[in-house]
Structure formats: structure tokens, C-alpha cells
Amino acid sequence: MAKTPCRLLLVTLLLAGCSSGASLGVTSQPAAETTPFSSPLPEAQPQPTPASQVPAPADCPATLTPAQMEGPYYTAGSPERPVLVEPGIPGEPLLVTGVVMNSNCEPIAGARVDFWQADGAGEYDNTGYQLRGHQFTGPDGSYHLETVIPGVYPGRTPHIHVKIFASDGRELLTTQLYLAGISEQIPDSLFNATLLARDEEPDPTGRRHSSFDFVVGE
Ligand SMILES: [Fe+2]
């Protein structure tokens, strides 16, 4: 009589087997290897996908805006102001607009964007804050800069320096912007065409308008 139950249990008991002393009443594995039938496994809960792993939309630029050197003329503590133009500053008026976004093209609101540049004659103000200022991006990640077209200085084509900080103060990017149709004209080993601001239609006052969207890691 003992052989029949042993054969019936052979599939489920396998390693335990009748020879190990299993009786007809043995139906469970050692406690450490079992899951109580009274406590079914909880259903798997969907886990949020980190933003960095969310595929970017097809029309979203996949690459981060390249960094460039800060250079010797950065001064911390610039005033908060989107308009850097002041009476008497040489240079052709320039409007620069755009957004700051992450690599999924989600706008970054409240980012601090700090600009500094030379005037139209290629001169930096290294004692004060002329042509220096910071602003915070709006809810849509936008910024709006009113300035002048920077001039050339030895070895450099016209460019605008920029630093971008997260709302918690972390520095996200230091780079330089170049102006399409202008900055390509002068040899400069630092020039990077991917940092060219697009040439937009002039604004209603006839002012030159350029645009550039920054893509930064968070
Ligand atoms: Fe510079």
C-alpha cells in the first residue's frame, strides 16, 4: 500500500521522496521555501519610470546643449534684469528668446539664467555689471533677453556667455551663444555651430531677434 502514494507524490515531492521519511500527510515544503496560501502575493504595482528613462518625443532634440568654457570675465552676483541695454552702451540692439528644457523637452521653470557679454566694441565691464544680468525662466521655461550684439575682441568672434542654474542652486550648464550670420564670419577656435542662435524675424521695432533653446541635464 505504501508504494502507490509514494508514486503519486513523486512529482510534487521529487527531492523529498518516500525514502526520506515522508508520510502520506506530508504536503508542504519547509517553511523557509514556502509562501503561505492564506497570504497571496500582492499584485505587482506599476512603478514610476524616472524622467531620465522616459523616451524623448520624436521631435525633441536628443542631445544636451554643449558646454563651453566660462572664460575670465564672469562676475557672480549680477542684478536680476532681462534688459541689459542701457543708454550709451555701444552695440546694435538684440533680442534673444528661447526656453530652458530637460532632455525630454520638458520646460524647466524657475531656472536662473545668467548672461554676460562684451559691448558692441568688444569691451567687458569688469568693474561693474554693465551687460551682465540674470533672470528666472517662466512656467514654460522661457527666457527673454534684451541686449546688444557683442563686438569682437582678439581671438573671439561675437558671443554671449551664459550660466544656467536649477532652482535649488545647482549649476546645470555653462556655455556660450553665437549669432547666426555673424559669428561664423570670424575665425575662432572655440566657435561651435551647434551653439548658433537662430535668426528670427526682426521684432516690430526692427530689432534683430535670435532664439536658442537650451537642453540641460537635471
Ligand atoms: Fe567672452
Number of separate domains in the chain: 2
199 lies in some domain: yes
CA–centroid distance, residue 209 to ligand 1 (Å) = 20
Residue 105 sits in the same domain as residue 204: yes
For residue 3, pLDDT beyond 90: no
CA–centroid distance, residue 59 to ligand 1 (Å) = 32
CA–centroid distance, residue 176 to ligand 1 (Å) = 8
CA–centroid distance, residue 36 to ligand 1 (Å) = 70
Residue 167 sits in the same domain as residue 68: yes
CA–centroid distance, residue 122 to ligand 1 (Å) = 9
Q: What pLDDT score does 26 carry?
A: 34
76 lies in some domain: yes
Burial category of 205 from C-beta neighbours within 10 Å (exposed 0-12, middle 13-18, buried 19 and up): exposed
Least confident of 54-58, 62-66, 87-91: 54-58
CA–centroid distance, residue 73 to ligand 1 (Å) = 7
For residue 1, pLDDT beyond 60: no
CA–centroid distance, residue 74 to ligand 1 (Å) = 9
- Supply the CATH number for residue 173's domain: 2.60.130.10
Structural domain including 21 reads: 3-29
**pLDDT interval class at 61 (50, 70, 90):** confident
Q: What pLDDT score does 47 carry?
A: 57
* pTM for this model (two decimals): 0.75
Q: What pLDDT score does 54 carry?
A: 64
CA–centroid distance, residue 116 to ligand 1 (Å) = 8
Residue 17 sits in the same domain as residue 116: no
Q: What pLDDT score does 50 carry?
A: 53
Identify whether the C-beta of residue 110 lies closer than 8 Å to the C-beta of residue 102. no
